């Protein structure tokens, strides 16, 4: 018996060491841009007093790319896109996830070009549309996460406010009309079309007038149009397009912004300024409308509770939307009123999810509000000063080993 005891002691030391190294860690890192100052602020919700700030060229909108390893800070009015390594890597290992945490840092030199706007992350690529350049830049996300900025240009026949994405075996791009326009007027967007990498057409135009608001869920891409919502699925050179018309009983309005669920095949879109629409690309009814009591300021989907979405309305109320019932199931006042009258880019709150919490910027109050997704009650605030505006949250939980 005696010789077993030292062995057991060594084993328990080993186990204790392993337990320490295998510590579970949760990090939600917020990247928030100021409305007026050309600045990004980064902080962890668990230690909000430790902050990193990064100067950029203008008002930025942060997009999380490469599974949250990278954020693109798109400065549409200042023709710049800066890339930030978020420092947070969550990697799925099947039975568990690994998390690694380091300081955030800017990656390389920013991209510059005429009016960068929509950014799409799909099929391992991030694609930035340059609305006044008539091209999009495509970046491999693994390379981006490794700190390499090596964009490949995709040419469009007419510059427009659109998007480009790899999709299955092809590249989809919005297409704008060749008809001449007056002065600075935007050319009419006609729809979506498949192209080869060199920009030559690989399929017919799928009509979708004024196409806007692309999102992905499951096997589908969806975008809003004047006629309805266009869905795209399938692989290979010629995907399958289907127009879901707005139901006759809906009020006269269109969808221009969509969010795609990551956990079930469903989209949540706007329908006019004071409505939302739950979109099922497969099963009828394809569209169910939710009337809002006031106009929408911002909305978000809950990746942890896929049946839930949240919408902030201009009276300062936050509502939980049940996507299965297509109705508002809870509401709470979270800030003062922010009228939707005025410019679309006026400083108003934005929402992002961080696990079981909602992080809302409150530009007038100069802070972030951290709100329980379950109770819709405020848990804490993070005073930032300035006018905190657009934001994204990266991170999650994993083992640090
Ligand atoms: Zn692991
Ligand atoms: Zn847009």
CA of 119 to the centre of ligand 2 (A): 10
Rounded mean pLDDT, 164-172: 95
CA of 96 to the centre of ligand 1 (A): 6
pTM over 0.85, yes/no: yes
Question: Which residue spans within 177-262 are E strands per DSSP?
Answer: 189-195, 206-207, 212-217, 220-224, 228-233, 240-245, 258-260
Rounded mean pLDDT, 233-253: 93
Peptide bond into 285 cis (omega under 30): yes
CA of 94 to the centre of ligand 1 (A): 9
- Nearest ligand to residue 224 Cα: 2
Please give the Cα distance from 178 to 32 (Å, whole number).
38
CA of 160 to the centre of ligand 2 (A): 10
- Nearest ligand to residue 129 Cα: 2
CA of 28 to the centre of ligand 1 (A): 19
Rounded mean pLDDT, 114-127: 98
Describe the strand order of the beta sheet including 267-270 as a list of residue ranges.
Answer: 258-260, 267-270, 275-279, 287-291
- Residue 1 pLDDT: 36
- Residue 22 pLDDT: 78
- Residue 2 pLDDT: 38
- Residue 13 pLDDT: 44
CA of 257 to the centre of ligand 2 (A): 8
Q: Is the pLDDT of residue 18 over 70?
A: no
CA of 139 to the centre of ligand 1 (A): 27
Q: Which of 130, 201, 215 is nearest to 172 (CA)?
A: 201
- Residue 238 pLDDT: 81
Place of tokens 């030292």: 6
Assess contact for 71 and 31: CB atoms under 8 A.
yes
Assess contact for 250 and 287: CB atoms under 8 A.
yes
Query: What percent of the chain has a predicted confidence (pLDDT) above 90?
Result: 89
- Nearest ligand to residue 162 Cα: 2
Average pLDDT, the chain: 94
CA of 267 to the centre of ligand 2 (A): 17
CA of 245 to the centre of ligand 1 (A): 46
Residues in the chain: 401
CA of 24 to the centre of ligand 1 (A): 11
For 349-379, b/e burial (b = at least 16 CB within 10 A) is bbbbbbbebbbbbbbebebbbbbebeebebe
Give tens-digit pLDDT for 71-103. 999 999 999 999 999 999 999 888 999 999 999
- Nearest ligand to residue 96 Cα: 1
CA of 109 to the centre of ligand 2 (A): 25
The token pair that represents 147 in the structure block: 């700190």
Question: Which residue spans within 113-180 are E strands per DSSP?
Answer: 116-122, 125-130, 135-140, 152-155, 164-167, 170-176
Confidence of residue 15 (pLDDT cuts 50, 70, 90): very low
CA of 283 to the centre of ligand 2 (A): 28
- Nearest ligand to residue 76 Cα: 2
User: For the chain, how many helices (H) and strands (E)?
Assistant: 2, 34
Give tens-digit pLDDT for 181-235. 887 777 899 999 999 999 999 999 999 999 999 999 999 999 999 999 999 999 8
**Phi and psi at residue 367, in whole multiples of 5°?**
-145, 170
Looking at the DSSP assignment, which residues form a beta bridge with residue 166?
171
- Nearest ligand to residue 400 Cα: 1
The token pair that represents 223 in the structure block: 């975008």
Give tens-digit pLDDT for 271-288. 999 999 999 999 999 999
Q: Is the pLDDT of residue 21 over 90?
A: no
Rounded mean pLDDT, 310-315: 98
- Residue 16 pLDDT: 44
Looking at the DSSP assignment, which residues form a beta bridge with residue 258?
269
CA of 373 to the centre of ligand 1 (A): 29
Neighbours of ion ligand 1 (CB under 5 A): 93, 98
CA of 401 to the centre of ligand 1 (A): 6
CA of 95 to the centre of ligand 1 (A): 9
Please give the Cα distance from 188 to 392 (Å, whole number).
30
- Using CA atoms of 259, 194, 71, 374 in order, give the dihedral in degrees to the nearest 10: 10
Confidence of residue 301 (pLDDT cuts 50, 70, 90): very high
Place of tokens 């240009």: 153
CA of 91 to the centre of ligand 1 (A): 8
- Nearest ligand to residue 258 Cα: 2
Residues 6 or more apart whose CB falls under 8 angstroms from that of 26 comprise 46, 99, 355, 395, 396, 397
- Residue 11 pLDDT: 46
- Nearest ligand to residue 345 Cα: 2
Give tens-digit pLDDT for 30-85. 999 999 999 999 999 999 999 999 999 999 999 999 999 999 999 999 999 999 99
Q: Of 95-99, 306-310, 366-370, where does mean pLDDT reach its minimum?
A: 95-99
Give tens-digit pLDDT for 148-162. 999 999 999 999 999
Rounded mean pLDDT, 245-266: 97
Query: What percent of the chain has a predicted confidence (pLDDT) above 70?
Result: 95
Q: What is the chain's Cα-based Rg?
A: 23
The token pair that represents 280 in the structure block: 């099922």
């Amino acid at each position: 018996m005696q010789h077993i005891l030292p062995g057991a002691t060594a084993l328990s030391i080993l186990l204790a060491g392993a337990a320490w190294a295998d510590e579970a860690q949760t990090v939600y890192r917020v990247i928030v841009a100021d409305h007026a100052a050309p600045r990004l602020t980064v902080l962890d919700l668990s230690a909000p007093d430790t902050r990193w700030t990064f100067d950029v060229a203008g008002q930025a909108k942060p997009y999380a790319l490469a599974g949250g390893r990278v954020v693109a800070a798109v400065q549409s009015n200042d023709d710049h896109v800066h890339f930030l390594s978020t420092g947070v890597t969550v990697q799925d290992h099947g039975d568990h996830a690994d998390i690694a945490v380091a300081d955030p840092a800017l990656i390389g030199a920013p991209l510059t070009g005429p009016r960068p706007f929509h950014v799409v992350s799909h099929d391992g690529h991030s694609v930035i549309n340059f609305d006044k350049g008539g091209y999009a830049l495509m970046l491999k996300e693994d390379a981006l996460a490794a700190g390499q900025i090596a964009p490949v240009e995709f040419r469009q026949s007419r510059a427009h406010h659109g998007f480009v994405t790899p999709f299955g075996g092809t590249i989809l791009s919005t297409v704008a009309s060749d008809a001449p326009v007056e002065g600075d007027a935007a050319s009419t967007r006609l729809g979506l079309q498949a192209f080869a990498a060199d920009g030559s057409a690989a399929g017919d135009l799928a009509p979708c007038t004024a196409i806007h608001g692309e999102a992905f869920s499951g096997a589908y891409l969806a975008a809003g149009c004047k006629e309805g919502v266009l869905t795209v699925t399938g692989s290979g050179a010629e995907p399958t397009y289907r127009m879901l018309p707005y139901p006759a009983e809906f009020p006269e309005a269109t969808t221009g912004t969509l969010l795609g669920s990551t956990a079930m095949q469903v989209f949540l879109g706007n329908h006019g300024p004071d409505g939302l629409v739950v979109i099922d690309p497969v099963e009828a009814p394809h569209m169910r409308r939710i009337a809002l009591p006031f106009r929408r300021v911002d909305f978000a989907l809950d990746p942890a509770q896929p049946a839930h979405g949240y919408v902030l309305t201009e009276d300062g109320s936050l509502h939980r939307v049940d996507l299965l019932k297509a109705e508002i199931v809870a509401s709470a006042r979270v800030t003062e009123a922010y009228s939707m009258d005025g410019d679309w880019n006026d400083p108003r709150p934005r929402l992002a999810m961080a696990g079981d919490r909602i992080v809302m910027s409150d530009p007038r109050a100069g802070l972030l509000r951290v709100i329980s997704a379950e109770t819709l009650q405020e848990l804490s605030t993070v005073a930032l000063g300035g006018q905190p505006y657009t934001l994204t949250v990266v991170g999650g939980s994993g083992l640090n080993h």
